């Protein structure tokens, strides 16, 4: 056995000695035994688990559950909690207050309890949410309680074996997710804890508080006010799925308070289930994820379908469409974003300084809406950590099914408040004798018809993504198919009026747009395509041609 392998075994044994979790201890112990006997697969497994650490960034931590520094586990969470406590103590005068929430994924409650005990042990005031709840309730709690920070244990819509650790800051950050340089500073504190060694020696205390039900009641009341049901919609038929997540309990209370008729629920997906047994991937964007919802909608002759992702911070919407397979079509995140942005613009057009905002990969149609209604418009880097900080914000969205409709209450994407706003639009349309599809046509007649598409390439080796981005920078494409590139922007240089990001943007001569970037949460290279035309079919045709050209380009560069 080589010296490097001996060192890796020593590293794994040191980790094993401090691990408080019987399951991951057994997992790692078996791998160590096989590796010590010279098993090549076990040695490779150890190398994967310990050659690096899950990086703490502006999305916090997220990764697969398991033993090792490159996995989500109780040791890593303890290091993160102790490091974050050190950061807050250094940053805050007096005793910092931190709120901790968790969803229904494997180990979420255990990670949250560990965090609460470690925060309390470090001298912070730690407040644990009363039970598993949606991520937007945690984001709400940071503002509502005037806390200095919040932690949400969730992996959102990631695969079932993942979990994560999302961080918010109060005070001047107003309950938004962290941005640089806070992420770098927190990561440095975490690394110091890891370098110090055994997490079992960190002080713990059970003197944390548990928030009362009045906190959840306050979120429900505030969210119900987003859009009260108009008179005459009690016969509206709609379907809801929680995608095996934590959305249903809270959402059902909100819609009841707002006066909407109860939905027909996808019972198989209503309650939290960490195995996500009816879907291969618990993300409403993924093929097949909404099949049960569509089947339920067909059975009850529904007018629309609403879905939340597992932690209920995202919203998916589907409408009847005779031309679609199965008779139902999921609206794109851009279509929902433009509808909600249109609603916000009409309500805010007399507010001085009111702004609409979206990430730079989302539809430019929101800018057209802002211009039409005399509002400010901002494009940001991807992530609600940036969108939520836009001055004068009344609405913001991302094409990946994220919408911020109630910035005075929640400074993050919120799939529940967005669903209420969308229900309000659908109900008003119904009263007027039209539908969401009719509203999209009406909006297109006002600002032009925008269409969007996406090419997403999932990889096992992240170096493939890096090499593709290097190739595109070294030799920018002159065209996408027959459509010439007018300008090519490399946003990593920070020359666009926003913080630098690993993003390439191509504006085409015909007014279309292509944007390439690595995913921030998954091993994917993502390409976003937008086109505008005088009709929906012409815009869709332009997007289809560009998608084909993008796939051809990536095949050449990959």
329-341 mean pLDDT: 97
CB atoms within 10 A of CB 57: 16
Cα(69)–Cα(86) distance, integer angstroms: 20
DSSP string, 99-113: EEEE-SSTTHHHHHH
How would CATH label the architecture of 56-211? 3-Layer(aba) Sandwich (3.40)
Q: For all residues of the chain together, what is the average pLDDT?
A: 95
Query: What pLDDT score was predicted for residue 75?
Result: 98
pLDDT bin (cut points 50, 70, 90) of residue 494 is low
CB 356 within 8 A of CB 387: no
For the record, the structure tokens of 358 come out as 């979206």
pLDDT bin (cut points 50, 70, 90) of residue 234 is confident
Q: Is the pLDDT of residue 40 over 80?
A: yes
Cα(151)–Cα(313) distance, integer angstroms: 15
Query: What pLDDT score was predicted for residue 264?
Result: 98
Pairing of strands 162-169, 209-210: unpaired
pLDDT bin (cut points 50, 70, 90) of residue 458 is confident
- High-pLDDT (> 70) share of the chain, %: 99
508-518 mean pLDDT: 93
Those residues with Cβ within 8 angstroms of residue 556's Cβ, 6 or more apart along the chain or in another chain: none
Kindly report the CATH number that applies to the domain delimited by 449-557. 3.30.310.50
pLDDT bin (cut points 50, 70, 90) of residue 556 is confident
pLDDT bin (cut points 50, 70, 90) of residue 497 is low
324-338 mean pLDDT: 96
pLDDT bin (cut points 50, 70, 90) of residue 349 is confident
Query: What pLDDT score was predicted for residue 462?
Result: 85
The partner residues of 456 in beta bridges, in order of sequence, read: 526
Please state the pTM of the whole predicted model.
0.93
Query: What pLDDT score was predicted for residue 311?
Result: 98
Q: Which of 156, 359, 417, 512 is catalytic?
A: 156
Give the tens place of pLDDT for each residue, 42-66: 999 999 999 999 999 877 999 999 9
pLDDT bin (cut points 50, 70, 90) of residue 10 is very high
Prior bond of 181 cis (ω within 30°) = yes
Cα(202)–Cα(188) distance, integer angstroms: 17
| Range(s) within the chain of domains with CATH label 3.40.120.10 | 56-211, 214-355+365-432
CB 437 within 8 A of CB 322: no
Cα(474)–Cα(327) distance, integer angstroms: 45
Pairing of strands 524-533, 513-518: antiparallel
368-387 mean pLDDT: 95
Q: Which CATH class is domain 214-355+365-432?
A: alpha beta
264-280 mean pLDDT: 97
Closest CA to 71 of 24, 33, 112, 109: 24
115 is catalytic: no
Query: What pLDDT score was predicted for residue 237?
Result: 97
Give the tens place of pLDDT for each residue, 80-126: 999 999 999 999 989 999 999 999 999 999 999 999 999 999 999 99
Q: Is the pLDDT of residue 449 over 80?
A: yes
Query: What pLDDT score was predicted for residue 331?
Result: 96
Sign of CA dihedral 395, 401, 402, 403: positive
């Amino acid at each position: 056995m080589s010296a490097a392998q001996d060192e890796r075994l020593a590293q794994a044994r040191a980790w094993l000695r401090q691990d408080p979790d019987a399951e991951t201890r057994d997992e790692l112990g078996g791998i160590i035994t096989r590796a010590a006997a010279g098993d090549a697969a076990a040695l490779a497994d150890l190398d994967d688990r310990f050659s690096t650490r899950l990086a703490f960034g502006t999305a916090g931590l997220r990764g697969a559950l398991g033993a090792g520094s490159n996995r989500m586990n109780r040791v890593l969470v303890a290091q993160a909690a102790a490091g974050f406590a050190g950061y807050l103590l250094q940053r805050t005068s007096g005793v910092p207050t931190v709120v901790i929430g968790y969803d229904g994924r494997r180990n979420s409650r255990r990670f949250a309890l560990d965090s609460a005990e470690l925060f309390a042990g470090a001298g912070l005031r730690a407040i644990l949410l009363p039970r598993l709840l949606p991520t937007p309730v945690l984001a709400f709690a940071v503002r509502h309680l005037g806390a200095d920070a919040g932690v949400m244990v969730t992996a959102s819509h990631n695969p079932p074996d993942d979990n994560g650790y999302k961080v918010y800051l109060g005070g001047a950050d107003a309950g938004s997710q962290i941005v640089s340089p806070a992420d770098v500073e927190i990561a440095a504190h975490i690394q110091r804890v890891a370098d110090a060694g055994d997490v079992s020696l960190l002080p713990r205390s059970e003197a944390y508080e548990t928030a009362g039900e009045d906190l959840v009641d306050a979120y429900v009341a505030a969210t119900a006010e987003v859009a009260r049901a108009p008179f005459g919609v009690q016969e509206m038929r709609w379907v809801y799925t929680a995608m095996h997540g934590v959305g249903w309990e809270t959402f059902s209370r909100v819609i009841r308070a707002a006066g909407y008729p109860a939905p027909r629920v996808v019972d198989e997906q209503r309650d939290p289930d960490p195995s996500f047994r009816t879907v291969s991937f618990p993300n409403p964007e993924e093929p097949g994820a909404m099949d049960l919802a569509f089947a339920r909608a067909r059975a009850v002759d529904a007018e629309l379908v609403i879905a939340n992702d597992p932690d209920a911070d995202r919203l998916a919407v589907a409408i009847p469409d005779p031309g679609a397979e199965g008779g139902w079509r999921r609206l794109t995140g851009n279509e929902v974003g433009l509808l909600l942005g249109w609603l916000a613009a009409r309500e805010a057009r007399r507010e001085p300084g009111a702004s609409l905002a979206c990430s730079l990969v989302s539809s430019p149609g929101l800018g057209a809406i802002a211009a039409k209604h005399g509002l400010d418009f901002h494009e940001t880097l991807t992530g609600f950590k940036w969108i939520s900080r836009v001055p004068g914000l009344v609405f913001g969205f991302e094409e990946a099914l994220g919408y911020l409709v109630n910035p005075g209450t929640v400074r993050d994407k919120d799939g529940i408040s967005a669903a209420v706003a969308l229900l309000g639009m659908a109900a008003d349309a119904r009263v007027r004798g039209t539908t969401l599809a009719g509203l999209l046509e009406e909006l297109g007649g006002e600002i032009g018809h925008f269409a969007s598409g996406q090419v997403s390439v999932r990889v096992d080796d992240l170096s493939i993504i890096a090499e593709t981005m290097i190739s595109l920078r070294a030799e920018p494409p002159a065209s996408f198919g027959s459509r010439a590139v007018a300008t090519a922007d490399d946003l990593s240089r920070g020359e666009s009026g926003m913080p630098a990001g690993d993003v390439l943007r191509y504006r085409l001569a015909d007014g279309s747009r292509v944007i390439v970037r690595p995913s921030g949460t998954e091993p994917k290279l993502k390409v976003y395509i937008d086109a505008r035309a005088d009709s929906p079919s012409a815009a869709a045709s332009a997007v289809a041609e560009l998608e084909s050209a993008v796939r051809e380009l990536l095949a050449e560069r990959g």
